[in-house]
Structure formats: structure tokens, C-alpha cells
Amino acid sequence: MSLAGVTLLVTLMVVSAVTLPANACLPADQAALMDIKAALKEPYLGIFSTWTGSNCCQGWHGVSCDPTTKRVADIVLRGESEDPIYEKAGRSGYMTGSLSPSLCKLDKLTTLIVADWKDISGEIPACITSLPDLRILELIGNKITGQIPENIGQLSKLTVLNLADNKICGSIPASIVNLGKLKHLELSNNQLTGEIPSDIGKLGMMSRALLNKNKLTGSIPNSITQLRRLADLDLSMNQITGSLPAQLGSMPVLSTLNLDSNQISSSIPTNLLSSSGLNILNLSRNSLEGELPDVFCTKTYFTHLDLSYNNLRGSIPKSLSSAKFIGHLDLSHNHLCGPIPNGSPFDHLEASSFSNNDCLCGSPLRTC
């Protein structure tokens, strides 16, 4: 064999020795996954028994790789799923342990979902904010403690942040308003304190903001009315004070607004009850004052309207009878007076919808 032939043969042998098998992930990514596995314990479904072998891009439950780069791109581990592995076991998932900081070594990760495992504890690794391509971060339904990483705003590509149903404390980081692509924010049922960032209106792409069941204080920022894509806002079961921003009813696509069980003490803005897009409105269990605006019309369509347990006075607006549809109405536990109008929607409502109105001026609330 000629010298050129020997050189070519040696070159081919070297290349074949260092080239990864087709679809195989990088050894560094696989090592990080093994650290993640070591930090978690899943005793019933055998999820991690699939995390074996030399190719983590194939057959590892919940792990997928970019087909071009062979880098780990997605980790999707849900404790509640329709996957056959759950059907065969006849139960939902249960997992203990914590999230390993080795997650941060997977620097091409776009999706991280470790959800509904009930008993995963520990803190969110602070280094998670260094993942430049992360688009979805979902850790709902665990027992994660500690605070939301202060630099969460560095995740410039993040579209979904769901940390609901954990034990996360501290305040909402100020940097969160830098998540310019964020569409879904869910932090409900935690132990968050402090105020909602005053410039939350910078999150111009956001369509859902669910912050209920925390210990948030302060008032509702006026900038929240700048969220032109926001369809669902839930701030219920907090300790929010102050008044209702006047422009809440002018938000173009807002359809669900839950503010119940707070300490809001203003009157109800007229445009909130005259909004043609809003169909679920719950302002119950606050300290709202004044009279109910007489602004209902043929475009009014509420599937749920709850104004109970406030300090509302005056009479029930007669214009309510002209509403296109009101499915559920609760005006109980206020100080309303006078007659209950005839016709729809009053003819299908229970008496409890109007009970416990201790009229402070004029005749008591009564049927006509």
C-alpha cells in the first residue's frame, strides 16, 4: 500500500473513532442527565429505568434531542399523563428529590417540564437563568421552595413560566418584566409576598397571568391595563389593596377577571360592567363601595358575575334586565335596597343570589 493510501486509512480510522453514532447525544449531555437522575427518585413507574445505554437521544423517557446538533433540547417529565406507562401502572406519578444544578449544563435546552410529581423539593437552581434557548419552564405541582431566581429576566426567549402549586416564597423578581416574549405566567398557589412589579405592563405578549393564592400586597399596577393581549387575569386570594384601575374594562381581549378575596376598596369602574368582552368577573369578598353602575345593555354577556360580600349600596340596576345573558349572578351580602327587577336573568336566579343585603337607606331588597 502506498504512503498516501496508509495516510487515508489512518485518517478514516481516527474519524470513525471520534465520530458519534447516529442520533447519539454528546457525552457531556448524557453525564448531566445522569446527575439529574441521581438527584430524583421515582419508585413506581420505572421512568428512569429507561435512562440507560449510550444513546440518550433515543428511548430515554421524556428526553429528546435536536436532530441536527444531537444536543439535548427537551426534558418533559409529567407526573400526570396519558402515556401508556401511567395506564399500565394504574396511577399517576410520584417523585422525590430535587432539581440538580447539572440541568444548567444542558445549554441547548429549550423545554424543561418537571410537573405534577407532588414531592420534589429543594430550590430552583439559580443557574437556570443562564440557559439561553429556554422557551418553556414548567415546574407546577411539586414542593419546590426558595425564591424565583432573581435574574429570571435573562431568559429572553421564555414564553411559558409555570411555577404554580409549590411552596415558593419571596417576591416576584423585578427582572421578570424583561421577559418580552412571555405569553403564559402562572405563579398561583405559592407563598409569594411583596407587590406586583409596577411596570408589569412591559410584558406585551402576555395572554394569561395567574397569580392567585399567594400573599401579594400593594395595589393593582395601572400598567397592567397596557397588556393588550391579556385574556385571563387572576389575582384572587391575595392581600391586594387600593382601587380598581379605571381602564380594566377597556382591555381589548380580557375575558376572565378574578380579583376575589382581597382588600380592594374602591367603587366599580363603569366600563368594567359595560365591557362587551368580559364574561367572567369575580370581585367578591373585597371592600368595594358605592352603587352598581346602571350600564348593562343588550351586549352584556356574563357567564359568571359575582359581586357578593362587599359594601355596595343603592338599588339593583334596571338595565340588568336588558342583558343578553347572565348565567350566574351573586349580589348577596351587600347593602342593596329596593325591588329586584322582573324578567331575565332574575327569573332563573336563586334567592341566595340576593340574600343578606342589610339595606342602610330606603326599603329592603325585595321582589317586585
Which string of DSSP letters, residue by residue, matches 184-221? EEE--SSEE-SBPPTTGGG-TT--EEE--SS--BSPPP
Q: Are 160 and 135 in contact (CB under 8 A)?
A: yes
pLDDT for the residue 9: 44
- What percentage of the chain exceeds 70 in pLDDT? 91
Q: What is the mean pLDDT of residues 196-220?
A: 98
Angular region, 73: left φ>0, alpha ψ -120 to 50, beta rest: alpha
Evaluate if residue 53 carries a pLDDT over 70.
Answer: yes
335 in Cβ contact with 359 (< 8 Å) = yes
Distance of alpha carbon 201 from its chain centroid, rounded?
Answer: 17
Q: Does 6 score more than 50 pLDDT?
A: no
Task: Return the pLDDT at 364.
Answer: 58
DSSP H helical ranges for the chain: 3-18, 27-38, 84-89, 270-274
φ/ψ (deg, to 5) at 41 = -130, 120
Residues in a beta bridge with 291: 313
Work out the end-to-end distance of the chain between its first and last CA atoms, rounded to an integer number of angstroms.
110
Which of 12-21, 124-133, 155-164, 231-240 comes out lowest in average pLDDT?
A: 12-21
DSSP β-ladder status, 40-41 and 304-306: unpaired
Q: How confident is the model at residue 19 (pLDDT cuts 50, 70, 90)?
A: very low
CA–CA separation, 335 vs 320, rounded Å? 18
Separation between Cα atoms, residue 203 and residue 105, nearest integer Å:
28
Q: What is the pLDDT of residues 255-284, one digit of tens each?
A: 999 999 999 999 999 999 988 899 999 999
Confidence at residue 82, expressed as pLDDT on a 0 to 100 scale = 79
Q: Which residues 6+ apart lie within 8 Å of 90 measured at CB?
A: none
pLDDT, mean of residues 136-143: 98
242: Cβ–Cβ under 8 A, 6 or more apart, which residues? 218, 219, 220, 264, 265, 266
DSSP letter (8 states) at residue 346: G
Contact 113, 136 (CB under 8 A): yes
Q: What is the pLDDT of residue 23?
A: 54
Calculate ∠ Cα 170-173-175, nearest 5°.
170
pLDDT single digits (tens) 150-174: 999 999 999 999 999 999 999 999 9
- Let me know if 125 is exposed, middle or buried by CB neighbors in 10 A (0-12, 13-18, 19+): middle
Average pLDDT over residues 73-96: 88
**pLDDT tens per residue, range 277-333:** 999 999 999 999 999 999 988 888 999 999 999 999 999 988 888 888 888 999 999
Name the nearest CA neighbour of 213 among 196, 189, 249.
Answer: 189
**Ramachandran sector of residue 309 (left: φ over 0; alpha: ψ -120 to 50; beta: rest):** left
Closest to 50 in 3D by CA, of 101, 100, 84, 97: 84
- Span 85-116, pLDDT tens digits: 887 778 889 999 999 999 999 999 999 999 99
Nearest Cα to Cα of residue 25 among 105, 138, 113:
105
Closest CA to 177 of 195, 189, 164: 195
